[in-house]
Structure 1
Amino acid sequence: MLRARNMSPSNISWADLTPDAILTISECLDTHSDRLRFRAVCHSWRKPVPPPQDKHLLPKEMVFPSNINVMEQFSYRYVLFQSTIYRLEDPEGPPNDGWLIMVNESGEQGKFSLLNPFTMQEIEDLTEAYFPKELNSLGFRVTEVTKSFTLSWVRNEPNNPQQFLIGGANDLRELEHKAVLSSDFESDKRFYVISDSRLCSITVGEDYWSLLYRNIEYRDLASYNGFVYGVDRFGVVVETDEWSHDSITIPSPYPFMGDWYLVKSGGDLLLVGRDYSVCHDQVYYLNSTDSFIKRPGVREDVFVDFKICRLEEMEDGENQWEDVDDLGDTVLVLSRKWSFAIDASDFDGIKGNRIIFVDEVKYPEYSDADDREGDEFLRLLLQDVKVRVFDVEDNFDVPIESRPEYHSIFWPPPDWLMDHRPLPPHQTGRQ
């Protein structure tokens, strides 16, 4: 039992905890932000606890052989990036006034870039009218929602060393790869990516990619309980052991081709599929672009339906998918870039049993970027994507811009954040 020195239990002061007790408590904190906030409580708590270090030490640069010419080899490199979704709350406000922020953490301590949560692209040239230039996380309640990892091919430029390779003659098919880290990444430095619809294993420090299970074209992947799961556009899932790389196939729970997502929600792994068979007269699949296209002449909204399943281990040790008819308080956020789950009760005005999703259907004849409701930046946020809210119970969806209670968890920033002022130096956790 941990006890402050020379103090009876009834008179213990948190400031009088022994250094060993403080260090032991700090080691139970899981996230970088929690450890930083712990050190900021007071000097006696900061002194025995070393400054938090990023476990993954990302972004990390890697070099692999390429089929581009030798001169171009020196201009490009792969970088493994880490992005994080945080829920911020006003410490003086109610417990359900959360706001989500997505950031790309740079290699420089305390520096980050604000990302568009729907495209994962950096939001540049923001004025202070839209977002504070400095944001001290110690002034808020901060909860880490999820992390995402991306392996990107970037161009070396003297004035912008992490310039993404986009557009022009150098535009390549595979610029970014969704990645998941192994459960023991700190030791084995191994991670997994989808490249050209195939699952590959990569170890930091090695100069090759190991191609794993070859028999399906992967759409999404997730790591869960020591296994890597990949799903194809028909809902067939391959479960691969991280250590042996042995793989088994889990049959699709529904016989349709569509957009499939793997999402971790609480302690469960969910498989979510958008069923395009219900709108086959409105869309068609184009193999060359690997996407569903709205048919010419179709004026009405494309009908949307989702199927949700949870991975369950059976008595014989085999895994199978079980139907989920109600998400309860959970809201799923889905896109090809990344997917995650939140609790509706953490936010003001929204309801659970909903899916916020990026509409992956291509609309070649229609552009409504200039007609979006909301402020100028909301229109910018949704300029290249359609985002909708799906009600699981009523089987009905609407554009997110028509539901301010849902888009406001992403944008605009709440008043209490915009009014925030940096804390004085003695409260920042700096040594």
Structure 2
Amino acid sequence: MADWSLLPNDLLELIVGHLETSFEIVLFRSVCRSWRSVVPPLDHSRCLGIKTHDISFNAGFSFSDQPTDQPPFKSSVDCTLKNIPIYLVKFWTPYGDDYLLAEMREREGGEPKLLLSPLSSNGIKYGMGINQVLFNSLTSPIIPFGQYYEITYFKKQPIRYRYGLPYHLWNEVEWVETSERVEFLRLHSEDSRDFAVLFAGRMCNLVMYRSRNMSWTQVVEHPETYAYQDLVAFKGKFYALDSSGSGRVFIVDLSLRVTEIPSVKGSQYYSKESLVQLGEELLLVQRFIPAGRRYDEYIYTWFKVFRLDEGGKRKWVQVNYLNDRVIFLGARTKLCCSVHKLPGANENCIVFLASNDGSIFDNDSVLLFDLKTRRTNTAFNECKGYMGVFGANLKSLVSCGLVTIPNPTTRFLL
């Protein structure tokens, strides 16, 4: 195995020149002592930034399927594409090896990074009731685990009821900041800066942005009947899954040509579907819920998993075993990894959220389906190895000093 500490300084300086955020510099310095000597420590007041791109809106463009003469956005440059990184933080405690899976967000005013659960939709913050979360990159490995992209822009929206607002103003409009999940595809170009973005817009249509043209384009003139519930960038193309529940997936080329993969056999039960990338393979995951079930629906929930067969004519092939992998179905992102990276986790399982909107209210909100036994249970009762994914391993985090709990008699800020 190569000794990374022996790399020459000129090569290390070349690597540093390609680092795009200050957090990447932190990861670089955590490798070994010789690497730390190349880059000085960061100023703690400096924000650990994330990658962003400014995207312009072409005149008359709207995310709906109808063009408009009135500008629907506050400014032609008020759209920002953000890369949201997800990190796996490993640490050692008196209870054994443990980990924390965290999505990192910016805060205003140069404050420390905000850590969120990457799988919940209700903004679960690691540090609710906790004063500080401290990572020592020299003793706790911080490993890039995944990422997703979103665009943030201002759009017009009717003013809803607001305390103290006169009644006659309720029908007025205001500019509201909005964030939407998108799929990002980096393209091969001379300067490596060309990219494409696919967004599932309103009115069941798809829109694509090309950095080369600096404009958004509607993918098809006649949108599908169903809205799109999931997107993924895979092997140089975009894949879009509609909400019909029958496994209808469309391939979108950069030329805007759209082809459909033959759908899988339907079911009499309601299904919620997702696209998940597993290394060099693409999976279609179907979650089935019997009609009429509400409060105890998770007991009767089951899954089917299909793999995209790319040989000849593309088709979906059902798989019953994920080897040593586990799939996480979150509100904003879907992850798949080996259980060897997550201490204590079970293989061949699908971890998902009971709530249809991806909210987490308590430990019973996180569920686990075993593809072998075909049984569903609460994840934390089945295996404590999943607590780090959702930041529920508080005792473990406190024991090793990663978090500190304030004196309850004193006031603290979240």
Same fold (TM over 0.5): yes
In 2, Cα distance between the equivalents of 1:29 and 1:70? 37
Q: Which residue of 1 aligns with 2:208?
A: 201
Q: Distance in 1 between matches of 2:340 and 2:160?
A: 39
Contact 1:191–1:202, Cα closer than 8 Å, also in 2: yes
How far apart in 1 are the matches of 2:40 and 2:160? 40
Change (3 A) 1:246 1:229: same
2:229 aligned to which of 190, 202, 219: 219
**1:380-402 deviation digits (Å, cap 9, x = unpaired):** 94269943211111111123454
1:166-209 CA distance string (max 9 Å, x none): 99667999944221111229522431111224321124597853
Answer 1 or 2: higher relative contact order, Cα 8 Å, separation at least 6. 2
Tell me the residue number matched to 1:259.
272
Residue 87 (str. 1) matches residue 88 (str. 2) = yes
Equivalent in 348, 351, 354 of residue 349 of structure 2: 354
Percent identity over the alignment is 21
Q: Please state how far the C-alpha of 1:141 moved relative to its aligned partner.
A: 0.8
CA distance, structure 2, for counterparts of residue 145 and residue 207 of structure 1: 30
> In structure 2, what is the Cα distance between the partners aligned to 1:126 and 1:17?
38
- What is the identity, as a one-letter code, of the residue corresponding to 1:248? T
- Shift of the 31–346 alpha-carbon distance from structure 1 to 2, 3 Å rule, reads farther
Find out whether 1:340 has 2:319 as its counterpart: no
**Taking structure 1 as reference, are residues 205 and 166 closer, same or farther at Cα in structure 2, changes over 3 Å only?**
farther
* Partner SS, residue 193 of structure 2: helix
Tell me how far apart the structure 1 counterparts of residues 198 and 332 of structure 2 sit (CA, whole Å).
15
Partner in structure 1 of residue 144 of structure 2 = 144
Letter in 1 for 2:250: V
Shift of residue 132, structure 1, vs aligned partner: 2.1
User: Distance between the aligned counterparts of 2:195 and 2:160, measured in 1?
Assistant: 28
Listed one character per residue, the Cα deviations across residues 317-360 of structure 1 (whole Å, up to 9, x for unaligned) are x3222211011211111134221112222223321111111235
Q: Paired residue for 2:408?
A: none
Q: CA deviation at 1:254?
A: 2.5
Which residue of structure 2 aligns with residue 135 of structure 1?
A: 135
Aligned to 1:104: 105
1:327 alignment counterpart: 322
Asked if 2 retains the 8 angstrom alpha-carbon contact of 1:37 and 1:138, the reply is: no
Change (3 A) 1:209 1:390: same
Larger mean Cα displacement after TM superposition, 62-71 or 209-218: 62-71
The AA in structure 2 aligned to 1:335 is: G
Deviations 1:116-139 (A, max 9, x none): 333344446946x53624434444
Instruction: Evaluate the alpha carbon distance shift between residue 21 and residue 390 of structure 1 in structure 2; reply closer, same or farther with a 3 A threshold.
Output: same
Cα distance between partner residues in 1 of 2:7 and 2:296: 68
Q: Deviations over 1:207-252 (max 9, x none)?
A: 853121433531101001101001112211111123x222211011
User: Is there any run of 5+ residues in structure 1 with no aligned partner, and where?
Assistant: 3-12, 157-164, 284-293, 363-379, 423-431
1:270 pairs, out of 279, 283, 302, with 283
Distance 2:139 2:393 in 1: 15
Q: Does structure 1 retain, via aligned residues, the 8 Å contact 2:344–2:383?
A: no
- Helix, strand or coil: the match of 1:36? helix
Q: After the TM superposition, which residues 372-383 of structure 1 pair with which residues of structure 2 at under 5 Å, given as runs?
A: 381-382=360-361
Task: Specify the alignment match of 1:161 in structure 2.
Answer: none
Residue aligning to 2:184: 181
What SS class does the counterpart of residue 412 from structure 1 fall into?
Answer: coil
Name which of 303, 307, 321 aligns with 1:306: 303
Change (3 A) 1:117 1:37: closer
Q: Secondary structure at the match of 1:187?
A: coil
Report how far residue 147 of structure 1 moved: 0.2
- Write the distance in 2 (CA, Å) between the matches of 1:123 and 1:333: 16
In structure 1, the residue matched to 2:257 is: 246
SS in 2 for 1:97: strand
**Residue number in structure 1 paired with 2:401:** 420
How far apart in 2 are the matches of 1:343 and 1:96?
16
Amino acid corresponding to residue 218 of structure 2 in structure 1: L
- The amino acid of 2:372's aligned partner reads E
Contact 2:277 2:283 in 1 (8 A): yes
Match of 2:26 among 28, 32, 36: 36
Contact kept? 1:131, 1:413, Cα under 8 Å: no
Q: Distance in 2 between matches of 1:311 and 1:95?
A: 38
Matched, 1:399 2:375: no
Q: Give the conservation status (yes or no) of the 8 Å contact 2:81–2:152.
A: yes
CA 1:172–1:49: 2 relative to 1, 3 Å: closer
RMSD (Å), alpha carbons: 4.7
Partner residue in 2 for 1:57: 51
**Residues 155 and 178 of structure 2 are in contact (CA less than 8 Å); yes or no, is this contact kept in structure 1?**
no
The DSSP-based 3-state class of the residue aligned with 2:150 is strand
Supply the distance in 2 between the matched residues of 1:87 and 1:109 (Cα, whole angstroms). 23
Partners of 2:214 and 2:241 in 1: CA distance: 26
Distance in 2 (CA, whole Å) between partners of 1:107 and 1:389 is 36
Q: Please report the TM-score for the alignment, with normalisation by the length of structure 1.
A: 0.68
Q: Which secondary structure state, in structure 2, belongs to the residue aligned with residue 245 of structure 1?
A: coil
1:235 aligns with 2:247: yes
- CA–CA distance in structure 2, aligned partners of residues 323 and 31 of structure 1: 41
The 10-residue stretch of structure 1 (398-407 or 24-33) with the greater mean CA deviation from structure 2? 24-33
Cα distance in 2, alignment partners of residues 392 and 232 from structure 1: 24
